[in-house]
Amino acid sequence: MTEHAVLILRLAGPLQSWGGPSRYNRRETQPQPTKSGLLGLLAAAEGRPREASINDLLDLRLGVRVDQPGSLLRDYHTFSDHRGVPLPSAKVNAKGVQAKTSPAKYTGVTQRFYLQDAVFIAALRGPAPLLERLEHAVRHPVYPLALGRRSCPPTGPVSLGLQADAALADALAAVPWKASAHRRSQIQATHVTLEATVEDPAGDQLATDVPDTYDLKTGTLFGRRAVRHLWIAVPTGQQTKEPADGKASPATLGHDPFALLGW
């Protein structure tokens, strides 16, 4: 039996965008990294062509912890043809040629959505030899790494190394809190409770983000995987501070309901 291990990645940057089912002129982002986006990052690190098989990556189990949810950014802009001619229509004629818009349309609008200043911890569990190769590739990538889109480069080291085999929830709980210094300064409690999503065959929810290929000629079809959501308590590094009345601070009791909002 092949020995397993867990690869830990830190996903942080000014902008991230983990695409969902949206297409065309409105491209939304999921609130957490997708399996498609993570496997794409690993394939790019290894230098795989888009048409290369990713079958060996599909069985990797993914867990994600939200260390800092960030905030949503909408990028609104217009586009037009520099020659001053009408924009092409989304429709094609019988010869397969794109027709011009009718009535003529000279300016289009696109909207792209991003996560600003978000920080995630991703754990990928699978065969140790495969993860050792991927970890080396992430540290020495062939192609530039991106957080969902090419315009979203990561900041700081992406790989936090390999861990011994463990359940995804346990592996995520073992990683120190990686939020920004500003976010950490806002929490005075000894522990912070973070949202997490782990891949689990017995999970009660489905995520449609498992790619079959990245080949642009054929397009990508997305399969489903079962996941479950949970909360993970992580030490903040703060020392316990007893209030004057001797009662526990509300921040130390259970999880912080405003943590998802980045407050």
Reported confidence tier of residue 253, pLDDT bands at 50, 70, 90: very low
What is the distance, to the nearest Å, from the Cα of residue 216 to the centroid of all Cα atoms in its chain? 21
Question: Over the chain, what is the mean pLDDT?
Answer: 89
Reported confidence tier of residue 251, pLDDT bands at 50, 70, 90: very low
What is the identity of the amino acid at 162?
A: L
Calpha distance 8→136 (Å, rounded): 12
Of 5-14, 86-95, 160-169, the range with the lowest mean pLDDT is 86-95
More confident residue, 253 or 87: 87
Calpha distance 230→66 (Å, rounded): 11
CATH number at 4-72+115-261: 3.30.70.2660
- Of 226, 169, 232, nearest to 203 (Cα)? 226
Reported residue count of the chain is 263
Please name the residues in contact with 16: beta carbons below 8 A apart, sequence gap of 6 or more.
29, 33, 70, 114, 115, 118, 120, 147, 148, 152
Cβ contact 9:121 at 8 Å? yes
Cβ contact 154:147 at 8 Å? yes
Q: What is the pLDDT of residue 250?
A: 46
Residues 66-80: tens digit of each pLDDT: 999 999 999 988 889
Does residue 61 carry a pLDDT above 80?
yes
Domain spans of the chain, in order of start: 4-72+115-261
Does residue 147 carry a pLDDT above 90?
yes
